[in-house]
Amino acid sequence: NNVKIINNKIIRENINELIFSNINEKQIDFLSIDIDGNDYWVLDKINTDKINIICSEYNPWIGNNTQKVMPYDKNFIYKNDYYFGASLHSYVNLLNSKNFDLVAIDSSGTNAFYIKRNFSQPFEILSATKSFKKPSGFYSEDRTIKIEKYVRNCKFIDLDV
C-alpha cells in the first residue's frame, strides 16, 4: 500500500536508480517493462539480481527467428507507427544471459514472460521460435502486409551478425 508516483523519463542511464532508490523491498516479484522504444536497452542495463519475473513487450512486426533491435536513442518518441523495441528472440537471448527463462507469451502476441531460472523448474521452458505469435488477428490482411513492409524498412541493429 506504499504507492509512489515518479514522473521521470526512463533511459538506460537512470533505470537502476529509478527502481532501486524508490523501493523498500529486498526482492521485486514482478517487473513489467513497456516503454515503446528503448525497452531492450533499458532492460539490458537493469540489475536483475533481485527480480523474479519479468514481462517485456516485444515487437512482433519484426518477425520470427531474428534478433533485431532498434538503435538506442534516449530521445526516442514512439509515433504509433509500429517502429519500436526488439524482436522476441533478442529478448529471449538477453534474458537467458541474465538467468531468466521464457515461460509464456500473451494471447495478443506482444508480451513475453520470463522467470528467474532458479524458479523455472515447474514451468515449461518455451522456445522463442515455436511460441512466437503475430498480432495479425487484430488487423486486416492488407493492413498487416503494410505494417510488415514498413517495419522491414525501418532501421534495426541485427544481433545475428
- Distance between CA atoms of 104 and 106, rounded to whole angstroms? 7
At residue 39 the predicted structure's pLDDT band, cuts being 50, 70 and 90, is: very high
For residue 6, the model assigns a pLDDT of 86
Can you point out the beta strands (E) in 17-108? 28-33, 51-57, 68-69, 100-105
The grid cell for 17 is: 536508480
The stretch 60-67 carries a mean pLDDT of: 94
pLDDT in tens, 133-143: 887 677 888 99
- Distance between CA atoms of 58 and 116, rounded to whole angstroms? 18
Whether the pLDDT of residue 1 is over 70: the answer is no
The stretch 83-96 carries a mean pLDDT of: 97
Whether the pLDDT of residue 120 is over 70: the answer is yes
Which amino acid is it at 49? Answer: D
pLDDT in tens, 91-112: 999 999 999 999 999 988 899 9
Whether the pLDDT of residue 129 is over 90: the answer is yes
